[in-house]
Structure 1
Amino acid sequence: MNQKDFTCLKEALEKKKKILVSSCLLGMKINYEGKAHPVNELRQLFLQGQAIPVCPEVLATMPIPRDPAEIVVVNGERKVYNNKKIDVTEEYLLGAQRTLDTARTSGAKIAIMKSKSPSCGCGKIYDGTFSEKLVSGDGITVALLKENGIRVITEEDFLECLK
């Protein structure tokens, strides 16, 4: 996390500004396996009314559970394929747009997203081979949020910031 992201998060926390948070980090069982990845400190933000839960895949009406998916580059274009080799890019783009709409409606200028996800991954994502190999990059939603001026950090960055 860079210094500007750190400063933006600190300011948002101090001023009780709205923050987008991946719903699975708040304890909602909605990831691709129907599981949650709760972070107690983020759940507290939610209980205080500061965290706005978002799940791009759910916003795109994808099922829970759903097949795992990863980003691949095809002819220079980023695509999302599930492990059955089905192109699900449109669903991920729809979820990304609906997440951006939520950020705009709420006034959130920062998002805390689940690391490594094809939607929410920030800085590191899986390489598209379903071999658990990580590469540098952002998920579809994170890339769109960043392009529109929303600062994005991972749950690990958030916990580090609290120290």
Structure 2
Amino acid sequence: MIVVSSCLAGMEVRYNGTHCLHTKIQQLIQEKKAVAVCPELLGGFQTPREPAEIIGGNGYDVLKGKAKVIEKNGKEVTDLYIEGAYRTWELVSELQASIVVLKENSPSCGSKMIYNGEFLHKRIEGVGVTTALLRKKGIQVLSEEELSELVQTF
């Protein structure tokens, strides 16, 4: 069993109420080989919501208390992102999932790239809060961009 970002499965849960449908992920869900999760919704957010970015580091830094997640309007939402990460970990653990495929660039789900915290659409190398926690727990986290490498295994 794998766990995937809900937005990649076609669910309209992104901050702006849209999705990022990935047809292979949708197929895995339909074949009951994958379960969809949205860390932000698990953390207590609604859809739509203000866009947010990590300021002062990456997801690992957020977990250490050295960086914050801030919405574009200036509101700090770090605790909600951490809550969502832990609730996602609980689900991944319960399902005994070995692989998680999350949406790249997200302050929660990014596995290689995140936005730089300036709300100017500039990306930097880094991981989101949920990805950081899952990797600390030994879970393999990939982006939708890396999924094609896995297709043969499912």
What TM-score does the superposition give when structure 1 sets the normalisation length? 0.86
Q: Match of 1:21?
A: 4
Q: Match of 2:21?
A: 38
Q: Percent identity?
A: 40
Q: Match of 1:102?
A: 91
Q: How many residues align?
A: 146
Q: 2:148 aligns with which of 141, 154, 159?
A: 159
Amino acid at match of 1:97: Y
The list of structure 1 runs, each at least 4 consecutive aligned residues, that deviate by more than 4 angstroms after superposition, is none
Give structure 2 stretches of 5+ with no counterpart: none
CA distance in 1, matches of 2:33, 2:42: 20
C-alpha deviation, 1:60, in angstroms? 1.4
Aligned positions of 1:64-143 closer than 5 A:
64-73=47-56, 77-143=66-132
Judged with a 3 Å threshold, the aligned counterparts in structure 2 of structure 1 residues 160 and 109 are, in CA distance, closer, same or farther, namely: closer
RMSD: 1.6
CA distance in 2, matches of 1:36, 1:159: 19
Does 1:61 pair with 2:50?
no
What TM-score does the superposition give when structure 2 sets the normalisation length? 0.91
C-alpha deviation, 1:160, in angstroms? 4.5
Residues 44-99 of structure 1, C-alpha deviations (whole Å, 9 max, x = no match): 10011111111001111201000000001189812100001110000000000000
Q: Match of 1:12?
A: none
C-alpha deviation, 1:161, in angstroms? 4.2
CA distance in 2, matches of 1:159, 1:68: 28
CA distance in 1, matches of 2:67, 2:91: 23
